[in-house]
Every structure is written in C-alpha cells, then in structure tokens.
Amino acid sequence: MQTFTANDAKQKFGELMDQALQEPVSITRHGRPSVVVTSDAEYRALLALKHANLKAEVIKGFEGIDRRKKARTVDEIAKEVLKRDG
C-alpha cells in the first residue's frame, strides 16, 4: 500500500486519486497512519462484506433463540462482528 503524508496528499491530490483507484492509499499525519483512501468500488465491496457478516450474526442469534439458547443482545453481536472485522 502506498503512503502519502497529509501535506503530500493535499499537494498531489490528483495523483492520490489515481493511485487509490488501483489500491488503497494510506495517509499519515504526524508520522502515524490516519486514514485510508480507496476507490468507490472497493468501499462498496467492504460495506457489502460488513453487512453480510452482520446479517449472518443476526441470523445465528435468531437461530439460538429458536433452539432456546441464551440469546445475545444486539450490542453483543455488533461488538463481536466489529472485533472480528476490525
């Protein structure tokens, strides 16, 4: 993954956009990773994956209720998904 400083990202925004269409680009601030810029297609794919994982966890939760197992709360499910996908 290519890295730009925040200052370089401002000065070379067109180059940053071109690179982000090929692969995600990390932008650092004060020498530490701050944000990642990616293409719209990659962003939508990541959202779809996150949604699919959350949906699978919700289905598991309902299946647990159907089997009279202790049901997890929405917060417990979300915490587990975010920890795994984090």
Give Cβ neighbours of residue 38 (< 8 Å, ≥ 6 apart): 20, 23, 24, 25, 46
Give the closest residue to 25 by CA, choosing from 9, 36, 41, 39: 36
pLDDT > 90: what percent of the chain?
58
Q: What is the model's pLDDT at position 80?
A: 75
Q: Are 29 and 6 in contact (CB under 8 A)?
A: yes
pLDDT at 53 over 60: yes
pLDDT at 54 over 90: no
Domain locations along the chain: 2-38, 42-85
Q: What is the model's pLDDT at position 46?
A: 93
Mean pLDDT of the chain: 87
Q: What is the model's pLDDT at position 17?
A: 97
| CATH class of the structural domain 2-38 | alpha beta
